[in-house]
Structure 1
Amino acid sequence: MSSSSIADRVVDEVKKHYPNASECSIIDHSDGCGAKLELTIVSDTFEGMPILKRHREINNLMKEKGLWEELHALQICAWTEKQWEEKKKG
């Protein structure tokens, strides 16, 4: 097993799967255990893709990479570049 945190491993796998992502960050809401994470990813890969499909795709990636068993909760914010810019404007 890797010595890096579950959060680091999630980000690494997401970055590999979405190499064109302009933003890929994670916040640990679990007080250090790393099992409750909030993932933000911005990629035009999501253009035209419903939100539910985006979430399923990322959840399936976590399962395929064997990371799902270590997570209690994963909140996913998956945005296109246009959506991200709108969100940042407020």
Structure 2
Amino acid sequence: MSDVLTTEFLDSAIRARLDAVHAEVVDMSGGCGQAFEVIIVSPKFTGKNVLMRHRLVNAALKSEIAAIHAFTQKDYTPEEWAKKSGQ
């Protein structure tokens, strides 16, 4: 991992480590890689409440989250995402 996280690296890590079927990563820091807002859609979230989902993501991205200032996540199952996005 480089000193500055990129949206592409974080997107790839999320998809690989959490089996995400959809991920949206936005660098809220203006490109310096210190604040990210993410949406993660994964079947791994099925049957888990919000706290359990956040813990799962935090464990999967532990080293990346430790290297940045702010990390905001919204986690959905594929079914929840389909309803939310109107599919």
For normalisation by structure 1, the TM-score amounts to 0.80
| 2:25 matched residue in structure 1 | 26
Identical-pair percentage: 29
SS at match of 1:76: strand
By how many angstroms is 1:10 displaced? 2.0
By how many angstroms is 1:8 displaced? 2.5
Structure 2: which amino acid aligns with 1:48?
A: G
| 1:78 matched residue in structure 2 | 75
Deviation string for 1:9-58 (max 9, x for gaps)?
22222111123x22012011111111111111111211111111111111
Structure 2 portions without partners, runs of 5+: none
For normalisation by structure 2, the TM-score amounts to 0.82
Counterpart CA distance in 2 for 1:44 and 1:3 is: 31
| 1:9 matched residue in structure 2 | 9
- Whether contact under 8 Å (1:6, 1:35) holds in the other structure is no
SS at match of 1:40: strand
4-13 vs 70-79, which deviates more? Answer: 4-13
RMSD: 1.9
Structure 1 portions without partners, runs of 5+: none
Counterpart CA distance in 2 for 1:57 and 1:6 is: 21
Counterpart CA distance in 2 for 1:52 and 1:60 is: 12
